């Protein structure tokens, strides 16, 4: 019996069992949390919790499967070189999954708070984009660190190429910061009815990382770059 427990066959069987167990536990946890949150949402009329869990439930299962696989491959009789390669792949997948999980939780929670405080009926995506960018940047840095790649060396090696990219993104960054300025200044908010200096008017339905969307009475949609909203003239009609 002891000989079988120390054999490669047993290690392979144990590794497979661990992966399957991780997958089953992930499914059970998802179903349990999903059912509980759904009941809470129905009782408290807070649909937000239900929607959040719905968006992350597959990521929770994937996370548990990856953790189980990481444990399994370190038990399985695999050569050191192959194990190192597989471990690096699994670590990257784990970081990506955790990054996506945190991103979805935070961005959706911030949107919920904005809608709750300002009584918004439309999506305010600019803050979600900013949160996503920050979390994805941290995730990329962690991945590079895991692979033993120096972030400072990459930044230093960009040189003129980095400057060219920055210039190419100048308009995009201008609109991004203009959108942040619009939201933080609270001069205009989603739901406000405004008239542009061009004579067009309508209700603001969204402020994204790049543009402001205005819907006219006849349901025509006007797309205005955020930079023009901060530098141009417009009139607030209340």
List, in sequence order, every residue forming a beta bridge with 235; answer none if it has no partner. Answer: 195
Q: Where are the domains of the chain?
A: 2-117, 172-236
What confidence score (pLDDT) does residue 95 get? 92
- For all residues of the chain together, what is the average pLDDT? 76
What confidence score (pLDDT) does residue 119 get? 47
pTM, 2 dp: 0.65
Tell me the per-residue pLDDT of 181-238, one tens digit each, with 9 for 90 and over.
777 666 777 778 888 877 788 888 877 777 888 888 878 888 888 777 777 776 666 5
Low-confidence ranges of the chain (pLDDT < 70): 1-6, 34, 37-54, 112-126, 151-170, 184-186, 234-238
Q: 227: closest CA among 168, 179, 170, 166? A: 179
| Contact between 85 and 79 (Cβ < 8 Å) | no
List, in sequence order, every residue forming a beta bridge with 213; answer none if it has no partner. Answer: 206, 223
What confidence score (pLDDT) does residue 16 get? 87
Is the C-alpha dihedral spanning 89, 95, 101, 103 positive or negative? negative
Q: Which residues of 116-154 are buried (b: 16+ CB within 10 A; e: fewer)?
A: eeeebeeebbbbbebbbeebeeebeebbeeeeeeeeeee
What confidence score (pLDDT) does residue 96 get? 92
Q: What is the assigned CATH class of domain 172-236?
A: mainly beta
What confidence score (pLDDT) does residue 166 get? 58
Q: What is the three-class DSSP state of 128?
A: helix
For 99, the token pair is 């990054």
| Contact between 19 and 68 (Cβ < 8 Å) | yes
Give the span between the Cα atoms of 209 and 174, in whole angstroms: 10
């Amino acid at each position: 019996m002891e000989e079988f427990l120390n054999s490669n066959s047993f290690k392979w069987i144990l590794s497979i069992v661990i992966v399957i167990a991780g997958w089953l536990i992930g499914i059970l946890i998802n179903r349990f949390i999903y059912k509980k949150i759904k009941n809470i949402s129905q009782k408290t009329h807070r649909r937000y919790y239900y929607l959040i869990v719905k968006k992350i439930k597959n990521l929770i299962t994937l996370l548990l499967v990856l953790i189980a696989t990481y444990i399994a491959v370190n038990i399985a009789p695999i050569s050191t070189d192959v194990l190192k390669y597989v471990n690096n792949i699994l670590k990257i997948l784990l970081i990506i999954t955790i990054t996506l999980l945190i991103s979805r939780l935070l961005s959706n929670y911030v949107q919920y708070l904005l809608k709750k405080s300002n009584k918004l009926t439309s999506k305010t995506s600019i803050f979600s984009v900013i949160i996503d960018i920050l979390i994805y940047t941290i995730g990329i840095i962690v991945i590079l660190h895991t692979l033993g790649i120096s972030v400072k060396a990459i930044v230093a090696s960009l040189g003129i190429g980095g400057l060219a990219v920055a210039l190419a993104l100048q308009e995009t960054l201008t609109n991004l910061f203009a959108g942040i300025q619009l939201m933080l200044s609270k001069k205009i908010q989603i739901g406000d009815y405004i008239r542009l200096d061009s004579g067009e008017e309508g209700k603001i339905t969204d402020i994204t990382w790049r543009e402001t969307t205005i819907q006219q009475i006849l349901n025509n949609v006007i797309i205005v770059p955020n930079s023009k909203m901060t530098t141009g003239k417009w009139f607030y009609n209340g």
